[in-house]
Amino acid sequence: MSEFWKRKLRTFLHILDFDKDGYISEMDYANMGRDFADAYNATPEKRDDLVKDFVSLWKKYMKAGDMEKESLLTLPIFIESIRQQLYDPDLITCLVRVIRGMFDLMDVNQDGYLQPDEHRSFFENLGVSEETFDAKFAFEAIDANGDGKLSIDEFVAAFLDFLFSQDETSPNKYFFGQLVD
Length of the chain: 181
Q: Are 91 and 78 in contact (CB under 8 A)?
A: no
Query: What is the model's pTM?
Result: 0.86
Q: Pairing relation of β-strands 150-151 and 72-74?
A: unpaired
* Residue at 176: amino acid letter: F
Q: What pLDDT shows up at residue 40? A: 92
In whole angstroms, give the CA distance from residue 28 to residue 43.
21
Q: What pLDDT shows up at residue 114? A: 95
Give the helix/strand (H/E) hosting 24. Answer: strand 23-25
Q: What pLDDT shows up at residue 99? A: 93
Farthest-apart Cα atoms in the chain, separation: 46
Q: What pLDDT shows up at residue 63? A: 62
Q: What is the mean pLDDT of residues 46-71?
A: 76
Q: What is the mean pLDDT of residues 53-62?
A: 83
Confidence label for 64 from pLDDT (cuts 50, 70 and 90): low
